[in-house]
Structure 1
Amino acid sequence: LKEIVTLTKNALCLGIFFYNGHPVRQVDVVGIVVQTKERDAFYNYGVDDSTGVINCVCWKNPMVAETSLSGRPSTPSSLTVLEQMKKLQEMVSQKTKLEIGDIVRVRGHIRIYRQQREIQASCFYKVDDPVCDVQISRMLELPCLYREVYDKSFQDPEEGQRPLLYSKASWGLEQGLGGQNFSINMLHEKVKGFLLENKIQTFYQQELETIDTLVSLTGVHL
């Protein structure tokens, strides 16, 4: 998040920002909900990923808010469909109405509102992460993503380079890192074992960086 709030704004193209020459519009963040505000049509969630806090505007699902299941035909087949719709609506509501302390994943575009940057979510959901798998994977994935993509000079696709789309870089990074997969998996298991042993359910990366045994493993495997 600290990079999002310091990205260079493009004066010509609204909604486009730059990091080390890379154009950025869509972002994908995972963090802890530290603030919630509900409005008629959307939620405002303050999300903290240990590097910073940003407001995320998350629109409510209009189907859940507006669809009424009463007054519908009551044939056996229609009742089955209505029951499935009700269950689906309940699942959506549980995944999108968050509380402070929940882990959330948000994908959307950056915008500036009242001189502050925020994320206009196109997709968001609560992350069920009882053994910290998602948080550990994210913590190990991001340094590789920066090393392999964002910390390198941006190459214009028109100059013969195949474009690396954001979604592929974000969701399929490990497939393109070759021998680093083994190291990442090793670190994942070590960190997961440490968290389980100490019964830790949520954490900040800075806290793990104070554990000598984990820091030494990072130096060996990365």
Structure 2
Amino acid sequence: MDRSLLNTHAKLVARDIHCLTQSHTEPNSFSLIGGSASVSRVETVGTIVSRDLTPKFLKFDVDDGTGCVTCILWLNQLSSSYFSRWDPATILLLARAARKQAANIRIGAVARVRGRVGSYRGVMQITATVVVVERDPNAEILHWLECLRLGPSYRIQS
């Protein structure tokens, strides 16, 4: 398998994200059916259609016209044991950035989401690292066009 996409954000629509299958050899990588490239990080653009804020995370759904994908933005950097060995200044910056992103996520806004793709309870989701509310009214259609252009590089040609 081509490993070139493991450290990049593959541009995918929700339909393709839900079609990803987990690698048998690498637990944190996925591929499209018939795909030749492993994917661990994705980027998608769509309208935020739900928002559920808790003290630990913000869970929201992004609808891009091909389907909805659930996204999780973790907000517990200051209390999580995962970050306990990190530099305190870095943790504080991450926590502030996550809180600022969460405040901008509103139902009806068009957002670009980048993060690690994974399966939770059998459903694909994105653990978001960057969420940007798009101001360009063409952002979603431009993302679709990029997905069409890049799509063949994620699949085996027949």
Normalising by structure 2, report the TM-score. 0.68
Unpaired runs of 5+ in structure 1?
64-88, 154-222
2:154 — aligned with what? 150
Deviation at 1:43, TM superposition (A): 0.4
What value does the CA root-mean-square deviation take over the aligned residues?
2.2
Distance in 1 (alpha carbons) for counterparts of 2:144 and 2:24:
32
Q: Note if 1:96 corresponds to 2:109.
A: no
Task: Select the structure of larger CA radius of gyration.
Answer: 1
Q: Note if 1:141 corresponds to 2:146.
A: yes
Aligned ranges for residues 67-216 of structure 1 at < 5 Å? Answer: 93=100, 95-97=101-103, 98-129=105-136, 132-147=137-152, 149-152=153-156
Distance in 1 (alpha carbons) for counterparts of 2:110 and 2:29:
27
Deviation at 1:115, TM superposition (A): 1.7
> Which has the larger helix fraction?
1
Tell me the amino acid that sits aligned with residue 140 of structure 1.
Answer: L
**Which has the higher relative contact order, 1 or 2, with Cα contacts under 8 A spaced 6 or more apart?**
2
Native 8 Å contact 1:107 1:123 kept in 2: yes
Normalising by structure 1, report the TM-score. 0.50
Deviation at 1:12, TM superposition (A): 2.5
> Which has the larger strand fraction?
2
Equivalent position to 1:54, from 53, 57, 69: 69
Unpaired runs of 5+ in structure 2?
1-13, 79-95
Identity of aligned residues (%): 28
Number of residue pairs matched? 123
Tell me the amino acid that sits aligned with residue 116 of structure 2.
Answer: H
1:8 — aligned with what? 21
1:70 — aligned with what? none
Deviation at 1:60, TM superposition (A): 3.1
